[in-house]
Amino acid sequence: MSNVLEVTDLRRSFQQGGETIAVLRGVDLSVGAGEIVALVGPSGSGKSTLLQAVGLLEGGFEGSIRIAGEEAARLDAQGRTRVRRDSLGFIYQFHHLLPDFTAAENVVLPALIRGGTRAAAQERAETLLAALGLANRMAHRPSALSGGEQQRVAVARALANRPALVLADEPTGNLDEHTADIVLAEFLRLVRGEGSAALVATHNERLAAKMDRVVRLHDGILA
Ligand code: ADP
Ligand code: MG
């Protein structure tokens, strides 16, 4: 099957106090359809920088980023928004849920923004939240949920539009070890069931070992 992500010779530097720091020095990475890849590296190695580039959230890089077969690295803002909306899902260390909306509404919104019907969006949200054990938390606001529940809602939101590729940056990094294990296992089970691919940044080798493949960021390149 074709790759959902093909990154070729990705380079990203930052200017800091008159110095140039080369964080990504020619990253090559392919992720197959439905494949779950752990992106491992110590703090400061450039995991978030790589995910932000692949997520088309920040410019300033050189190289090629093909997402679902389309060269996305040099799209204009409108094109980047389209690829993010149609092909990508995002999960961060902190949930970034909208505080004034319920769990269900937070999961419904991506589908509405994409142009789906409210009924279909609602059904999809309820299916995902129920699969994550949140059937009786749908009407709760984020502030009324535990940290693990908040991250489960963020997982459901990321999967709402059936993305080809989920990008997750330390998705359980803010949870205690026991909760992190449970939420990661649920995340992996759901992503596998959906057939989405995922690129998951973590500095936790134990969590990385549960994924299909591990790539390591070291000195600005992947090994
Ligand atoms: P990780 O996610 O692996 O911890 P990051 O991608 O956040 O690493 O950071 C990699 C390096 O890039 C760090 O040295 C960090 O200080 C630097 N960096 C990240 N973003 C910026 C920025 N906007 N400006 C300057 N330096 C940055
Ligand atoms: Mg990071």
DSSP 139-202: T--GGGS-HHHHHHHHHHHHHTT--SEEEEESTTTTS-HHHHHHHHHHHHHHHHHHT-EEEEEE
The pLDDT tens digits of the residues spanning 122-153 come to: 999 999 999 999 999 999 999 999 999 999 99
Atom of ligand 1 nearest to the CA of 41: 3
Question: What is the SS3 assignment for 94?
Answer: coil
The pLDDT of residue 162 is 96
- Cα of 93 to ligand 1 centre, how many Å? 15
Please calculate the CA angle 192-69-78 and round it to the nearest 5 degrees: 100
Closest ligand by atom to 40 CA: 1
CB–CB of 86/22 below 8 Å?
A: no
Which residues have beta carbons under 5 A from ligand 2 (an ion)?
A: 47-48
Q: Report the predicted TM-score, pTM, of the whole model to 2 decimal places.
A: 0.96
- Cα of 44 to ligand 1 centre, how many Å? 6
> What six digits make up the tokens of 89?
């899902």
From start to end of the chain, where are the E strands?
Answer: 3-16, 19-32, 36-40, 61-67, 70-71, 88-91, 165-169, 197-202, 213-218, 221-222
Atom of ligand 1 nearest to the CA of 50: 6
Q: What mean pLDDT is predicted for residues 106-114?
A: 94
> What six digits make up the tokens of 38?
């752990």
Give the full edge-to-edge strand order of the sheet including 221-222.
88-91, 165-169, 197-202, 36-40, 213-218, 221-222
Question: What is the SS3 assignment for 18?
Answer: coil
When the pLDDT of each residue in the chain is averaged and rounded to a whole number, the result is 95
What is the percentage of the chain residues whose pLDDT exceeds 90? 94
Q: What mean pLDDT is predicted for residues 96-101?
A: 96
Atom of ligand 1 nearest to the CA of 51: 6
Closest ligand by atom to 92 CA: 2
> What six digits make up the tokens of 167?
């990008």
What residues does ligand 1 touch, defined as CB less than 6 Å away? 14, 16, 23, 41, 43-49
The pLDDT tens digits of the residues spanning 2-61 come to: 899 999 999 999 998 899 999 999 999 999 999 999 999 999 999 999 999 999 998 899
Beta-carbon contacts of 215 under 8 Å, excluding residues fewer than 6 positions away, are 29, 37, 38, 39, 40, 222, 223
Closest ligand by atom to 50 CA: 1
3-222 topology per CATH? Rossmann fold (3.40.50)
- Cα of 220 to ligand 2 centre, how many Å? 14
The pLDDT tens digits of the residues spanning 67-77 come to: 999 999 999 99
Mutational pocket test of ligand 1: of 11, 12, 19, 23, the residue with most ligand atoms within 8 Å of the beta carbon: 23
The pLDDT of residue 37 is 98
Q: What mean pLDDT is predicted for residues 181-195?
A: 95
CB–CB of 73/61 below 8 Å?
A: yes
